[in-house]
Amino acid sequence: MQIPLQITFRGIPKSEAVETRIREKTEKLERFHSHIMSCRVAVEAEHQRHHQGNQYHIRIDITVPGKELVISREHHDNHAYEDIYVAIRDAFNAATRQLEEHARIRRGEVKSHNLQHAGTVIRLLPENNHGFLTSTDGREIYFHRNSVVGEGFDTLEVGDQIRYVEEDDDQGPQASIIYS
């Protein structure tokens, strides 16, 4: 980590044992996710309730290249969070999942929808509930009436400029969402 781990206690006294557990969990994160630039952990005790003990809220802010991940574990109805170590464990498990998801996205393993495609309506077949558009690179793309949001299919005209999300179908490319 480029910036040392920061641990903050709010509403509870500083605890060496809790701090040690947080450091262990952070070191484990670093072993599996080497691009962590900084990590800040806030441990907070909520006010005592009549029939319950303190519930602990753990917030972890992790900075990785190009992204700030925020993990916040707070469950008012979960009695397990009366144990600070359970709250820490669950927060770091959630942090691990977010880091893994971020790594998958960076590797391109997660499909992302780019809403920046632009096209032009070139043919409408209202009797068949579909039409065709041409993409900026000249490809012809099918779309169904149900894919059109906004003003709707019935307001489209040949020549209209639209934005769309493209997906590959068994029969070729199609626009799954069209913004008129």
Beta bridge partners of 9: 43
Kindly state whether residue 90 falls inside one of the protein's structural domains.
Answer: yes
My answer on whether 135 and 88 are in the same domain is no
Does the pLDDT of residue 41 top 90, yes or no? yes
Residue 111, pLDDT score: 54
My answer on whether 84 and 156 are in the same domain is no
Residue 51, pLDDT score: 47
- Mean pLDDT (whole number) for 50-77: 77
Chosen domain end from 107, 134, 155: 107
**Cα-based distances in Å from 69 to 30, 90, 100, 155:** 14, 16, 11, 42
Kindly state whether residue 83 falls inside one of the protein's structural domains.
Answer: yes
Chosen domain end from 58, 76, 107: 107
Chosen domain end from 56, 87, 107: 107
Instruction: Give the count of domains, the chain.
Output: 2
**Cα 145 to Cα 162: distance, rounded to the nearest angstrom:** 14
My answer on whether 101 and 25 are in the same domain is yes
**Cα 24 to Cα 28: distance, rounded to the nearest angstrom:** 6
Alpha-carbon dihedral of residues 69, 54, 81, 40, nearest 10 degrees?
20
My answer on whether 63 and 131 are in the same domain is no
pLDDT interval class at 78 (50, 70, 90): low
% of the chain beyond a pLDDT of 90: 36
The residue among 95 and 116 whose pLDDT is bigger is 95
